[in-house]
Structure 1
Amino acid sequence: MSNTGGSSRLNWTAAPHYAETPDTFVLLSGDKGVSCLTVLPKRGVRELADVDGIRTLLDRHIRRL
């Protein structure tokens, strides 16, 4: 992930669950002692079909809640 403040890299085990809202994908930590989430705004995609691609990628690697 990159933004104006910097960049970071997570492996799939760091966020084994995700939820989807109409505007975002939210990746959630699997560690109950750590409250960590990553928000991926859908407004960042260039084409609507890219949202389906992100969903497919997430479904392949982590569990949807």
Structure 2
Amino acid sequence: MNNNHDVEPEVLSETEDYGFAVWRSMEEDGYMYHVELGGVTLHMAPEEWEEFVVLIRNASA
């Protein structure tokens, strides 16, 4: 858990129509990536994030 409340999360991308967003936050052991899809938020470590990016790219090809 991030105990430094002064650090703002970095929004990497967001949509206007549906309110989807991808952002990352600095945690004690490195970045955590967060994908907000409506009422669901996925929290991923960097390795999981990289695999998720490959998954989405392959799905859109």
TM range (shorter): 0.3 to 0.5
Q: Which has the larger radius of gyration?
A: 2
More helix by share: 1
> TM-score normalized by structure 2?
0.34
More strand by share: 2
> TM-score normalized by structure 1?
0.32
